[in-house]
Structure formats: C-alpha cells, structure tokens
Chain A
C-alpha cells in the first residue's frame, strides 16, 4: 500500500517532491509556513545547468536537466523557458584551458558543448569586453522563472489529489508524524522535510552533525533590453567562489530573462544572516560584472534583493531517509543549484519512499554522511 505523505516546505524542492509522490498515487499534504516559493526559491536565478564539480553533482544535475527538458514542451511558456545555453567565460589562456578540459569531460559523458575562441566568444556575445580569451558554450542549459515552476509543480500535485496548506508552520517532526505550531499532531506514512535552511531545527530528534550553512546572495535586475544578452554567462572561476570558504566573494554570473531583462549576480557571504541588501557587496558584484560587460553601466537597474542558499559542508545536497528514524526523509541542502536539481531530487525521494529502483546511486546524497560534519564545522 502506498503511504500517506506529508511534505514540509513548498520551495522548489518540496513542490517537486509533492508532485512526484502525488503522481505516483500517494495522498500528499504539503505544509508551508508562509507561502509557496517564499524561501530561497523566490530569490533565485532559474539557471538549469549541468555541473562537473564532482561526479555526484554531475549525475544529479544531468538527470535533473533531462527531467526539466521533458517538461519544456508542455510548460515552456508558463515557465518563461529560455533555451539560451550557458557560456562559461574564460578571461585568460589558463581559464580557456579549463574550459577545454570541461568540454572534453562533458563530451565523454555525452553532453554537447562547444569551445569558443576570442572571436567566436565576441560573436556569441557582442557586449562582452574585448580581450577575453574565449569560453565554453553548453547549448543544452536553460533558464526558467523559479516561482512559476513552484506553481506548476504544485498545480500538478493538486491535480493528483494533493492538498497544499500555506500559512501552516510546522513546529517539529519525527518518523511518521508532524506537529504544527498550533499543537495539532498529524500522522503520516512518510514525512519529507524540505524546509530549506529551517530543516535541522524541525527535527524532534536531532541528527548529530547535521548543519546547513546559509550563503547569502545578492541579485539585481535591469529594465528590458531585448537581445542585449543571449546566453547565461558565468565566469569560469565561478565554482571557486561558490564552494570556497572565503567569508565573502563575488563572481560574474548574468542571465537573460524572457522579458528582455538581465538578471545580474552573484555574491556569496557566509558570515551573515542580515536579510537586507548591502550596498558595498552589491557594488562589488556589479563592478565585477562590468569588467566582463563594460556597457552594463549604461543599463538601468530596477530592483535589487538578496536570498540565502541552503549549503552543506561538502557541497552536496541531503536527499534520503534519516537513519534510525523510520518514515522520515530529508530533501534539502542544494546550495546554489536547488532549482536545477529539484526534479532529480524528487525522483530519488520517490524511489526511496516507494522502495523502487533509484534513478541513480543515492549514496553520495545520503543523510548518514553528516556524522562527520561536527569535526568539519
């Protein structure tokens, strides 16, 4: 018999998990403290990409990109889907060599990419600064609007019988039960906590070592300049910034939106919970972007905001059952790629909850690995 399921949190991860389990036939209830997409998801860029940082990250991003692609025809317009591809921009010869190696690595694994020299890079993106060495174009990467994805996934879940309770904070949860802040205790055959950064504090029985690190990020969005930018552009040294332990870093990462707007990122700060835009960090981030796109300075910025990425010490998400606590799963810790990897995460959770064959080896994402994290932190 299929278990009744409670999903805690309606970010992109909770929404994808709820949809997958509802489609599988489970009776699903989603409990969200505020409103769907109100956490990290609502602040995010919607870059759908494959990443080669580790074999485990590669497999999850690859599976998820395929799963998103399968939705493109049906949902494309509603998701503000842009098949713009990524260009990893190489500033100098050393970075171009990194690009070449990344391309070769992709090719071995059957993902198309194209090495761009200096001239080809400028042809691909005329607004880039002269003198950049080149880049790697990954044509299969895309861009979506994350809040729209949350809405579509939850609508899909509801069509398969799920109920969504917004404004319903969970106080704590354990194997097969959830307690609301109003005191109600709800039983379930399977509880999946996808509450982003709040996940560790919701566990009635703590998981030793479990820690999520909030990585603050700034974004800015411009007015509409259709055609100004054609690809998501990311500097090749991006992962250095993304996974580094420096308390504060900025990297060039810009995204063309379906509206013609340009979304400008990105910053990472490890040492703050301040939810406000910091002019100093924002300026550093924009200055970094302007070294790659000098004419960015002629564009009008309409809005700036921040979000917090739920990161783990080893840069991999936590997806799977909680050891020693039957009927309890976690799905969180996706740092800066939770949108990109939401569908693969949902497929892994579905397989684990229903006892089906997993779509890929779940071990690298397993919750039991947090035992070593205390020492790490």
Chain B
C-alpha cells in the first residue's frame, strides 16, 4: 500500500497516493479541472505545464496548473464544477 494523503476537492475529502500530482488525482477520479468560456469540461492533457487545461484554484490561487503541484495533506482544490 502506498502512503496516502488527504486532498480536499470542492469541499470533499479524497484519500490519494502521496507523491502524485493534483492533476493525476483529478484524473484518477475522472474529475473535471475547469470549464471553458463556452462551458465545456476540460481536463489535464499534457501533464507538463504547457497546455493550461488542468487549471484549478489551489489553496485560493486561481488558475494554478494542477499538473505542476504535488498532492499534500489538506491541500484545498476548487474545480469549475
């Protein structure tokens, strides 16, 4: 069993493996990161910080690229959903 940490996504607590990125945690749960201006659901694509499709509000900071942030205990993630 990998070590688990507690992530808060849109107010819901998730147990996720330590060491992965927030984007990976969202993908594992099939969660949408953001919605386009037209309202389409968007999710991580490149995984390396260049497509900006994985943005969410992380610890109050809007438009954070979640593929560039490792999960941490108590990290607060807000998606557009």
Q: Which residues of A contact B (CB under 8 A)?
A: 223-225, 259, 298, 300
CB distance from B67 to the nearest CB of A (A): 15
CB distance from B23 to the nearest CB of A (A): 17
User: Is B37's CB within 8 Å of the partner chain A?
Assistant: yes
Q: Find residues 16-63 in chain B having any chain A CB closer than 8 Å to their own CB.
A: 37, 61-63
CB distance from A293 to the nearest CB of B (A): 15
B37 contacts A225, CB within 8 Å? no
Tell me the complex Cα distance, A300–B65, Å: 11
Considering only CB atoms, which chain A residue lies closest to B64 in the complex?
A300
What are the residues of chain A within 8 A of B62 when measuring CB–CB? 223, 225
Count CB-based A-B contacts (< 8 Å).
Answer: 9
Considering only CB atoms, which chain B residue lies closest to A223 in the complex?
B63
Q: Which residues of B contact A (CB under 8 A)?
A: 37, 61-63
Considering only CB atoms, which chain B residue lies closest to A225 in the complex?
B62
What are the residues of chain B within 8 A of A298 when measuring CB–CB? 61
Considering only CB atoms, which chain A residue lies closest to B37 in the complex?
A259
B63 contacts A300, CB within 8 Å? yes
CB distance from A359 to the nearest CB of B (A): 39
The 7 closest A-B pairs by CB, nearest first: A223-B63, A300-B63, A225-B62, A259-B37, A298-B61, A223-B62, A224-B37
What are the residues of chain B within 8 A of A259 when measuring CB–CB? 37
What are the residues of chain A within 8 A of B37 when measuring CB–CB? 224, 259
CB distance from B40 to the nearest CB of A (A): 15
Tell me the complex Cα distance, A259–B39, Å: 12
Tell me the complex Cα distance, A224–B56, Å: 12
Tell me the complex Cα distance, A225–B61, Å: 10
Q: List 9 A-B contacts (CB under 8 A).
A: A223-B62, A223-B63, A224-B37, A224-B63, A225-B62, A225-B63, A259-B37, A298-B61, A300-B63
What are the residues of chain A within 8 A of B63 when measuring CB–CB? 223-225, 300
Q: A223-B63, A225-B63 are in contact. List 7 more A-B contacts (CB 8 A).
A: A223-B62, A224-B37, A224-B63, A225-B62, A259-B37, A298-B61, A300-B63
What are the residues of chain B within 8 A of A225 when measuring CB–CB? 62-63
Tell me the complex Cα distance, A225–B55, Å: 13
Tell me the complex Cα distance, A298–B37, Å: 21
Considering only CB atoms, which chain A residue lies closest to B55 in the complex?
A223
